[in-house]
Amino acid sequence: MVPAGRNAADRPGSEHPNLSYRFWAAIILVMACSLALGLTLIASYHNDLDASRDDLSKLQAFRLALDAANRLTAERGPANSVLGEEPSLDSPSRQRLIAFRTETDAALERISATAQLKPSLDALVQTLASARQQVDALARRPLSGRSNAEIEQAVETMFGVFDAAQPMLSMVMTGLLAGETDLVGHAMVARMLSELREYAGRLGSHLVIPMASGLQIDLDRRGAFELSRGRVLALWELAGQQTGASDDARVAAAHQAVVERFFGDGMALLERTLKAGQSGEFGVTPTSFTHLIVPTFAPLEQLRDAYLDVTVEHLQMERNVALRSLIAVVAATCLALIIELALLVASQNLLFRPLLRARSQVLALADGAVQEPIDGRGMRGEMRSLFLALDTLRHRLIERNTLDSERAALTERLRKRADTDGLTGVLNRGALERLVAHLHDGTAAPTAIGLILLDIDYFKDVNDRFGHAAGDTILKEAAQRLRLALRRDDVIARFGGEEFAILLMDPHVESPVDVAERLRTILQASPFTLETGESVEVTASLGVARAENQDGGWPALVTAADRALYVAKAAGRNRVEEDRETS
């Protein structure tokens, strides 16, 4: 049975599944939170890695486009030389032009392999092909057969090739605008350096046009020269501030080389040639001038390349940092999950399960289940101490239960002794009256009760004739016969002396008079044998009464049965009489 105050759910082990579910739910919740946090960080670093890769890809595409544009600019130098000399298929200028065109074609081919640049390539290739055809057609004619206007148009056409490359650069720049702001700034500086190289080359081209024709520099050409020089100085004012502030040694060295070689030697050569060309006596040929001026442009290209190298390296470093961070976060997340799982499993094995076992043992001890020993094997530290303490408690409960059992047995013996007649073994009068006092309690109480008072006839004569020991023998034997003759629910008690009281729990099933008659007959049926071997005939007079089972009705029922017993004795004994008032 479950002790009062505790329901079935409190029995040992009845909540183990629920507690286990809660424990594992807590584990899953903790791991889910860790995983969610880890995934958030992983997603963040993965986005950073993707952004770095995307920026690097865009910058590399921009560099390809910028390189192609600068190859177009560089190709104009040998083209100017070819336009300023007699036709020759194997001249150094012609061979240089072929080599430069090959490099230009290779740069454009690299662009064609880049999906985002290929769409803008077709128009550029057509413009380049047209410009090359015009240069080649003019170069095949004798130098004397080339007019200044034709040379100017051919050079201007080569200018247009670079201009045709600008939409491609603008498209790449637009793609960079969607990325990191710093990256756009670096790209703009690189583009300004590329344009600086272009307009520096145009300064030389403005001088080569009249130089190839042997004419003096006119006002229009001088104006074009000054316009290009102003553009060069403006571009350098903007780009030079950025490159001059760089802390990278390569950029700083290239910046200084531009200042010394181009703005020092190159611009000085251009100024001298411009001054000499005002009279038409340049003192140099287009080829020799090109050989002198082009090397001063090299620092501009080197500065642009160094600046882009630093930018690419910075992006590669950011990509590598993002990649390492992503790997570290993934590893940390996995390690955290493994550690959490290990700790939680260890907690379950070392703490949670032992506590559940301890709980079961405590509930079992509370229910009085002390038969099974408490097993603390495999426990360590505080858990082992806990199970040892529970085992000690179990032994103390066993000792207490033993004492309680002995005390209960003693109490039961004393109660029985207090309720039982010491001679006959049936209830005594006090026990019977205490029983009757509670007969009306509960829903199963009988609706009516019957009472038989039985008095052994001439019992005093038996004592006088055979002695009190014989009387005791007759009383014990009479109680035994009467008990065997009664129904299971009927109660017999010694009412006093030689008088017995029989309480009938359900007088409607069998008439109390019939029961009394059966008892009278049983006592008379055979003689009582004494310890001396003598036999004694015993009869009894019986008074019967019945009444409704109600509180306070017992004294009246006893009075009625006693009144009937008196009538039986007065009528000659050995008979049954029923009280007429209660029948």
Residue 412: per-residue pLDDT: 63
Task: Note whether residue 345 is domain-resident.
Answer: no
Report helix, strand or coil for 422: coil
pLDDT digits (tens, 9 = 90+) for 68-100: 889 888 888 888 888 888 898 888 889 999 999
For the segment 419-428, the average pLDDT, to the nearest whole number, is 90
Task: Note whether residue 338 is domain-resident.
Answer: no
Is the domain of 274 the same as that of 313?
yes
Of 77, 66, 151, give the one whose Cα is nearest residue 110: 66
For the segment 527-544, the average pLDDT, to the nearest whole number, is 94
The average confidence (pLDDT) of the chain is 84
Residue 559: per-residue pLDDT: 95
Domain end, chosen from 331, 357, 383, is at 331
Task: Note whether residue 361 is domain-resident.
Answer: no
Domain end, chosen from 302, 331, 360, is at 331
| Number of domains forming the structure of the chain | 3
Q: In whole angstroms, what is the distance from residue 335 CA to residue 329 CA?
A: 10
Tokens 């290239």 correspond to 254
Pairing of strands 528-529, 491-496: unpaired
Confidence of residue 561 (pLDDT cuts 50, 70, 90): very high
Residue 583: per-residue pLDDT: 60
Return the higher-pLDDT residue of 128 and 412: 128
Return the higher-pLDDT residue of 441 and 227: 227
Q: In whole angstroms, what is the distance from residue 70 CA to residue 559 CA?
A: 139
Which residues lie below 8 Å from residue 215, measured CB to CB, with a gap of 6+?
A: 148, 280
Is the domain of 458 the same as that of 442?
yes
Task: Note whether residue 264 is domain-resident.
Answer: yes
Of 144, 126, 146, give the one whose Cα is nearest residue 136: 146
For the segment 55-76, the average pLDDT, to the nearest whole number, is 84
Widest distance between CA atoms in the chain: 186
B/e letters for 189-227, b = 16+ CB within 10 Å, e = fewer, are bbbbbbbbbbbbbbbbbbbbbbbbbeeebeeebbebbee
Is the domain of 431 the same as that of 415?
no
Is the domain of 399 the same as that of 523?
no
- pLDDT surpasses 60 at 415: yes
Is the domain of 138 the same as that of 206?
yes
Q: Which residues pair with 578 in a beta bridge?
A: 544
Task: Note whether residue 73 is domain-resident.
Answer: yes
pLDDT digits (tens, 9 = 90+) for 347-400: 767 766 677 777 777 777 777 676 677 766 666 677 767 777 777 777 777 777
pLDDT digits (tens, 9 = 90+) for 494-535: 998 999 999 998 777 788 999 999 999 999 999 999 988 899
Q: In whole angstroms, what is the distance from residue 171 CA to residue 120 CA?
A: 9
Tokens standing for residue 552: 């306070």
Q: From the DSSP assignment, how many helices (H) and strands (E) are in the chain? A: 16, 8
For the segment 474-491, the average pLDDT, to the nearest whole number, is 92
Of 228, 229, 260, 239, give the one whose Cα is nearest residue 306: 239
3-state secondary structure 245-296: CCCCHHHHHHHHHHHHHHHHHHHHHHHHHHHHHCCCCCCCCHHHHHHHHHHH
Q: Find the range with the poorest average confidence among 316-325, 530-539, 560-569.
A: 316-325
Q: For residue 545, what are the domain limits?
A: 427-578
Task: Note whether residue 344 is domain-resident.
Answer: no
CB 151 within 8 A of CB 209: yes
Return the higher-pLDDT residue of 451 and 57: 451
Burial of 181 (0-12, 13-18, 19+ CB in 10 A): exposed
Task: Note whether residue 411 is domain-resident.
Answer: yes
Q: Find the range with the poorest average confidence among 154-158, 342-346, 457-461.
A: 342-346
Percent of the chain with pLDDT over 70: 87
pTM for this prediction: 0.57
CB 439 within 8 A of CB 446: yes
Burial of 519 (0-12, 13-18, 19+ CB in 10 A): buried
Return the higher-pLDDT residue of 475 and 408: 475
Is the domain of 169 the same as that of 316?
yes
Residue 5: per-residue pLDDT: 43
Q: In whole angstroms, what is the distance from residue 136 CA to residue 132 CA?
A: 6
Rg over alpha carbons for the chain, rounded to the nearest Å, is 64
Q: In whole angstroms, what is the distance from residue 311 CA to residue 582 CA?
A: 123
Tokens standing for residue 482: 């009467």
Residue 9: per-residue pLDDT: 44
Task: Note whether residue 454 is domain-resident.
Answer: yes
- pLDDT surpasses 90 at 320: no
- pLDDT surpasses 50 at 218: yes
DSSP annotation of 348 reads I
Residue 257: per-residue pLDDT: 95
For the segment 242-261, the average pLDDT, to the nearest whole number, is 93
Q: Which residues pair with 535 in a beta bridge?
A: 529
Of 545, 544, 541, 538, give the one whose Cα is nearest residue 575: 541
Report helix, strand or coil for 340: helix
Return the higher-pLDDT residue of 6 and 517: 517
Instruction: Phi first, then psi: give them for residue 540, nearest 5 degrees.
Output: -150, 150
Is the domain of 284 the same as that of 383?
no
Instruction: Give the CA-trace dihedral at 223, 226, 230, 231, to 10 degrees.
Output: 70
C-alpha angle 525-526-531 in degrees, rounded to nearest 5 = 150
Is the domain of 219 the same as that of 298?
yes
3-state secondary structure 371-414: CCCCCCCCCCHHHHHHHHHHHHHHHHHHHHHHHHHHHHHHHHHH
DSSP annotation of 534 reads -
Domain end, chosen from 419, 439, 460, is at 419
Is the domain of 401 the same as that of 508?
no
Tokens standing for residue 377: 């094997």
- Of 341-345, 391-395, 424-428, the range with the highest mean pLDDT is 424-428
Is the domain of 286 the same as that of 401?
no
For the segment 529-557, the average pLDDT, to the nearest whole number, is 91
Is the domain of 77 the same as that of 93?
yes
Q: Which residues pair with 303 in a beta bridge?
A: none
pLDDT digits (tens, 9 = 90+) for 101-147: 999 989 888 888 777 677 778 888 899 999 999 999 988 999 888 88
Residue 83: per-residue pLDDT: 86
Is the domain of 435 the same as that of 518?
yes
